[in-house]
Structure formats: structure tokens, C-alpha cells
Structure 1
Amino acid sequence: MAAFLVLAVLGVAVWSQVGVMAAEPGPLAEVRANPAITVTDAPEGIVLAPADGASDVGLVFIPGAKVDPWAYAAILQDTAAAGTTVVITRPWLNLAFFDLRGLDSFTSAAPAVSSWAVGGHSLGGVRACQLTADADALVLFGSYCATDLSADDLPTLSLSGSEDGLSTPEKIADARHLLPEDAELVELDGAAHASFGDYGPQAGDGTPTLTDAEMHAEVSSFLAPFLTP
């Protein structure tokens, strides 16, 4: 039995490293060259912060399953430039469900920030819903909760895609009752599941009609004012 468990653990560890979807180099180079933000590869995660250091609001963002955390830097850079410190986590074994760390494991990257939202893409969003007890707001990208937050008074923004083949519009609608009553749900016309990161196409997904630049602008237009009204 012990040998079987060891083999099972090793199998999961190996599987978690196979097929990780890498960040596309072009958008990542754009982030690194952006003069409006600072980019720090910190122990807690990838930290994007306003270049002037003026930020008292933060967002801990959890990647989707087997997606390189750097793939979310480009879509979140404008939100950072607008005044939010963003910490993109590195989930254990590249899967959010295996990462049992609390929110403070990531917020420690920016101790001066006083208000924190938690969010994530796909499986990362499902995990984010489990961490809301210590958060001031919730942000979902192509995701939904498996945790019942319907009785919570928690500001919530859910961005989904009309062409999402994984977190489909039907799945988003079916899980709506688990979100707070006044949650803001926005379906982005033309967005697919992989549109919420810059890591290329994803198996089982729909075909986006938005360009990457259009998608980044759409997300920023909702996310930045939600976090810093």
C-alpha cells in the first residue's frame, strides 16, 4: 500500500508538470517594458505594482490549471498601472486545488496594501472563492464558484466569454446562485476561455473573435474601476 501511494504521488507530480501552457513571449516583453508599472519576481508570486508606488488596493490572482503564471501579466498590467498592486500566485504543482496556502501567504508581498481582493481564472477562480473569508472583494475570469457565497455581502465581479468552450455561458449561469445577490456578471462578446491569459489556444475551447489587444482593453475597462472606484 505504501509503495502504491508513493507511486501515485509521483505520478501526480509528473503529470502536473506535463503540458503546462507557457506564457507567450510577445505580451510578456510588453509587460517588462511598461514604464507605468514595476514587475517583481517575489517569493510570494509575480508582483505588478504602479511605478509611483501609490497603491493601497491589491489583487491576489490565481492562475488556471497548468497555465504559466506569467501568462496573466499582460492582461493585468493596466489594472496595476491604474493603482492596484497585483500578486499572481504560483500554485503548487501548477494546480490551484493542491495549493492550500491562505491569502496572507501572498498579501505579504505588499504589506503596505490595506485592502485585498482575491481572484482567478478557471480553476484558479474556483480556488479564489474558497479564500474570500480574508478578502474584501472577489474577481472571476472565465470561472465560477463551487463554494456558496450567496449569503455574503462581498463585492464580486465575474467576467466570462461568449465563446468560452470550458467555462461555458451555461455553466456560468448554472452557478450564478452561489454568488452574492448583487454580484456583477459581464459576458464579454467574442472572448474564449484562453482569452483571459496570453498562453495560446487551449484544447476544448471555443474560437475567440476578439484580438488580444481588444481583450486586454475590455478586461481593464471593468476590472480597474471595480478595484479602485
Structure 2
Amino acid sequence: MQKKRGRRVLKWFLWSLVALMVLGVGGIVAWSQIGVMGAEPGPLASVEENPAITVTDAEQGIVLAPADGASEIGLVFVPGAKVDPSAYAAILQGVVEDGVTVVITRPWLNLAFFDLRGLDSFTSAAPDIDTWAVGGHSLGGVRACRLAADADALVLFGSYCSNDVSDSSLAVLSISGSEDGLSTPEKIDGARDLLPADAEMIQIDGASHASFGDYGPQAGDGTPAISDEEMHEQVTALLDEFFATLR
């Protein structure tokens, strides 16, 4: 009798544990799909209608490539948390026009820290390219830092590393915003010692956290004092100069 009672208790405990796990996983999946910030249609249309760029919806992500096929450098770009990957197409199209192939990843569950794929899962979209940078915005930049050991360069948009890459030979460009309410200037400065001593640290005056993508305002962010057009121009110029050092 006592043994049967013990089995019932054990069975109840195991089924309760399974139920909690299912509820937990289901809750995470549901939360990851709620509140995803979509790409603004206007900027995205400007990319899709750009004759200088080809846009491919590939297994590796959204691939933006020069229409003439002339590309020696690639950039794997990881979106911020719960941001539609397409929201970064417009701010990156200028550098694509100038000869860089960009692969914007689609993080699992819309959150970069759940995505455990290696860099080669994305660079396979353009196997003829030998020089690769990895980058990202916000949480995507944190994930990019984790992938940087397999890259030639690291690009951060309103982000910073949580792992130490200061002893690496990586070329690093960190672009931040003076009005960023999430990756604040203080947070960027606080993580500066995790980057190589020669990392380029550029702050764009008037840029907020959401200025690095085209997905609308974001809770907790500052108020931008720069237009989207000017932001895109400044980012393109900074990326062009940075990638020129890799050629």
C-alpha cells in the first residue's frame, strides 16, 4: 500500500514537472512573438525598389547584395530583440550599394541570445566572400561579439560586448547615439575596456536607440534629434570608411 502511494506521488510529481516545463516553454515562445517591432513600409520599399541591390529571402536570412555581383566583403548583421530583421535593410542599403554583401539574420524566437548558430551558418549565403565582419544592434550586437572570434571585424550599432575581445586582433567599429535611452552613452563607456584599444568609438549626435533601424519608436528610448535620412547617410559613410580598411 505504501509503495503504491509512493508511486502515485512520484508520478504526480513527474507529470507536474512536465506540465511546468511545457507551460514555461510555451510562455517563452508566446512572449517572443508578442510586441515584435515591424519594419516601416516606406524605408523597406526603398530597398526593394533599389535597382542597385538584389534582395534575397534565403535560408540564412535576408541577403542584400550589389546588383552587379561585385562584392569582396560581407557583413552578417544580427537584429535587436523583437525587431523585424527587415527593419535594418534601409540603414544598410548604402553600404551594399558601395560593394558590401549583407546577411541580416533571423534570430530564433526573435531573440539573439536564443540563437546558437555559428557564423558559418550565415556566411554560407555568399561562399565566394573571404572577408567577413559580424555586427548587430542592441542585443544583436551582444550576440555578434560572441561570434566575432570567427570574423575579421566587428560592427556595433547602439550596443556593447558582454564578453572580452580586448586581446583580439579584430577591427572594431562601435557606433552609438547621444540620445540612446537603452544602450546609453554611460553603458557604452562602461564596456569600453572589453574592446581592443584601437576600436573606433563613434557617437552620432542626436541619434536614439531606434535610430539604428526603421521600426518606429521604442519604449524607454530617448527622443531622436536627427532625421532618418541623415542617420542613414552618416552610418553609410562610417561603414564605408571602416570597410575600406579591410580591403
TM-score range, shorter chain: over 0.9
Matches within 5 A, 1:136-175: 136-175=152-191
Query: How far apart are 1:153 and its partner, in Å?
Result: 1.2
1:27 aligns to what? Answer: 43
Query: How far off its partner does 1:228 sit?
Result: 3.1
| TM-score, structure 1 as length reference | 0.99
Corresponding residue for residue 32 of structure 2: 16
SS in 2 for 1:149: coil
Aligned to 2:13: none
Q: Secondary structure at the match of 1:55?
A: coil
Partners of 1:228 and 1:2 lie apart in 2 by 54
Instruction: Please state whether the residue corresponding to 1:214 is helix, strand or coil.
Output: helix
* Number of aligned positions between the proteins: 229
- Code of the residue aligned with 1:56 in structure 2: it is E
Q: How does 1:90-129 map to 2 (within 5 A)?
A: 90-129=106-145
How do 1:198-213 and structure 2 match up within 5 A? 198-213=214-229
For 2:91, the equivalent position in structure 1 comes to: 75
Q: CA RMSD in A?
A: 0.6
SS at structure 2 position matched to 1:40: strand
Q: Does 1:225 align with 2:247?
A: no
5+ residue gaps, structure 1: none
Alpha-carbon distance, 1:35 to partner: 1.2
Partner of 2:81: 65
Deviations 1:51-72, CA, capped at 9 Å, x for gaps? 1100011000000000000000
Alpha carbons 1:83, 1:228 under 8 Å: kept: no
SS of 2:32 mapped into structure 1: helix
Structure 1: which amino acid aligns with 2:229? Answer: A
Please list every run of at least 4 consecutive aligned residues from structure 1 whose deviation after the TM superposition is greater than 3 angstroms: none
Q: For the Cα contact (< 8 Å) 1:151–1:180, is it kept in 2?
A: yes
8 A Cα contact 1:96 1:123, kept in partner: yes
Structure 1 CA distance for aligned equivalents of residues 142 and 81 of structure 2: 11
Q: Counterpart of 1:130 in 2: which secondary structure?
A: helix
What SS does the corresponding residue of 1:156 show, helix, strand or coil?
Answer: strand
Q: Assess if the C-alpha contact under 8 Å between 1:54 and 1:83 holds in 2.
A: yes
Q: CA deviation at 1:225?
A: 2.1
CA deviation after TM superposition for structure 1 residue 6, in Å: 1.1
Q: 2:72 aligns with which of 56, 60, 66?
A: 56
Tell me if structure 2 keeps the 8 A contact 1:57–1:228.
no
- 2:132 is paired with a residue whose SS is strand
CA deviation profile, 1:17-47 (whole Å, cap 9, x unmatched): 0000000000000001111111111110000
Cα distance, 1:2 vs structure 2: 1.6
Given residue 97 of structure 2, which amino acid in structure 1 is its aligned partner?
Answer: A
Q: Equivalent residue for 1:196?
A: 212
Distance 1:27 1:132 in 2: 29
Deviations 1:168-214 (A, max 9, x none): 00000000000011000000000000000000000000000100000
Normalised to the residue count of structure 2, the TM-score between the two structures is: 0.92
Unaligned runs of 5+ in 2: 1-16
The one-letter code of the counterpart of 2:38 is A
